[in-house]
């Protein structure tokens, strides 16, 4: 874990605010190394209005009600109806234990408009961190084709190179929800880091981390409370042990340099947009593995395959010392 930073990383998070998205937002609010410029919302784990509501509530809870939230697309690029993953994140996207009240309001701009506007104002400074389906980012590219020259880079939670998928044998959820948008985003000429299941399935919260959270202040108690449902899902259907993934928070941590990749080749990546069994697969050219990944013509996608240790401890210590919520979270 590396925590010695001088400049803060300015980031816009794009979230389908379920449980691990909440971890990502809390990390971005609490880590002193991060400047959270805004949060844009998307469907995926829940429908977009619920993602917007959850995002506003979590920011208010963390005393960051001044961070702008922009409501995003409500379905995939191909016009299909959104099909949320309530069975993983609960009906409210907060493990069925979210707060009753509603705090704050979204800005009067769409997610795509907000992204373009913020990046035009601060050219070269902002890291886009989409941790849901990539519809908003594809729309932002449509609105401003020069966007790749206006951002610092893009760190996506999504895809998988060598690890099985989590929606189909080969596809990860965020890419599978909108492969056409992902295709647009991966083709755009900007540096992308694909934080896929190769690493996110291995960075895990254990019971000792939840014990720590429950012994901390109200913010960490809330995080522990809403994670129970999500943890049960992972124990029952994935690990057969009490282990919980932190998917989206890992993308935030990597984008801000809080954790570093030990192996992260820059390779060509293509998204399968066919309607066959490969739909939504991120096809990563890792053939250079036996030669320490020599440069590939046109490659602009980094694929972390192995990370430094320490993120679950860092995250839970940060949460446990965050104090009590700025608003009523009952």
CA atoms within 13 Å, Cβ hemisphere of 142: 13
- The residue within the footprint of ligand BDR, chosen from 67, 85, 255, 267 (CB under 6 A), is 85
> E-assigned strands of 177-260?
192-195, 204-205, 244-245
SS3 state at 214:
helix
Q: Which residues pair with 157 in a beta bridge?
A: 195
Phi and psi at 127, nearest 5°, equal -95, 125
- Which residue among 20, 247, 248, 300 is the active-site one? 247
Q: Are 136 and 177 in contact (CB under 8 A)?
A: no
In whole angstroms, how close is the CB of 13 to ligand BDR at the nearest point? 11
Residue 183 appears among annotated catalytic residues: no
The entry of Ca ion, ligand BDR, none that residue 173 binds, CB within 5 to 8 Å by partner kind: ligand BDR
- The residue within the footprint of ligand BDR, chosen from 14, 127, 144, 172 (CB under 6 A), is 172
Distances (CA, A) of 302 to 190, 226, 277, 291, 316: 11, 32, 25, 17, 27
| Footprint on residues 5-34 left by ligand BDR (CB under 6 A) | 18, 20-21
Q: Which stretch binds ligand BDR (CB under 6 A): 28-36, 95-103, 167-175, 319-327?
A: 167-175
Residue closer to ligand BDR by CB (options 150, 200) is 200
In whole angstroms, how close is the CB of 126 to ligand BDR at the nearest point? 20
SS3 state at 227:
helix
Query: Does position 131 bind Ca ion by CB under 5 A?
Result: yes
Residue 247 appears among annotated catalytic residues: yes
Return d(Cα 167, Cα 63) in angstroms, integer: 35
In whole angstroms, how close is the CB of 18 to Ca ion at the nearest point? 6
Residues that bind ligand BDR (CB under 6 A): 18, 20-21, 45, 85, 88, 131-132, 157, 166, 172-174, 247-248
- List active site positions: 16, 247
């Amino acid at each position: 874990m590396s925590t010695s930073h001088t400049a803060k990383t300015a980031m816009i998070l794009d979230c389908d605010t379920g449980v691990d998205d909440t971890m990502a937002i809390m990390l971005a609010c609490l880590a002193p190394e991060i400047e959270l410029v805004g949060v844009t919302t998307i469907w995926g784990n829940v429908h977009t209005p619920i993602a917007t509501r959850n995002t506003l509530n979590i920011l208010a809870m963390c005393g960051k009600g001044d961070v702008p939230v922009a409501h995003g697309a409500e379905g995939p690029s191909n016009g299909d109806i959104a099909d949320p993953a309530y069975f993983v994140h609960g009906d409210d996207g907060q493990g069925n234990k979210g707060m009753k009240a509603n705090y704050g309001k979204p800005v009067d701009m769409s997610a795509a408009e907000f992204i373009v506007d913020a990046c035009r104002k601060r050219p070269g400074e902002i890291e886009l961190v989409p941790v849901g389906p990539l519809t908003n980012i594809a729309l932002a590219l449509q609105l401003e084709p020069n966007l790749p020259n206006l951002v610092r880079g893009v760190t996506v939670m999504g895809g998988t190179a060598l690890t099985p998928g989590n929606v189909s044998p080969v596809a990860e959820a965020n890419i599978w929800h909108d492969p056409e948008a992902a295709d647009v985003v991966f083709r755009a000429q900007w540096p992308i880091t694909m934080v896929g299941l190769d690493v996110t399935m291995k960075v895990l919260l254990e019971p000792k981390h939840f014990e720590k959270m429950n012994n901390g202040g109200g913010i960490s108690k809330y995080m522990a409370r809403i994670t129970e449902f999500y943890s049960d899902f992972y124990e029952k259907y994935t690990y057969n042990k009490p282990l919980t993934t932190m998917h989206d928070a890992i993308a935030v941590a990597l984008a801000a340099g809080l954790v570093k990749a030990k192996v992260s080749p820059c390779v060509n990546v293509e998204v399968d947009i066919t309607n066959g069994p490969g739909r939504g697969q991120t096809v990563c050219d890792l053939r250079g593995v036996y030669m320490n990944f020599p440069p590939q013509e046109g490659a602009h996608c980094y694929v972390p395959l192995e990370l430094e240790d320490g993120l679950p401890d860092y995250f839970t210590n940060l949460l446990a010392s965050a104090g009590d919520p700025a608003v009523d979270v009952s």
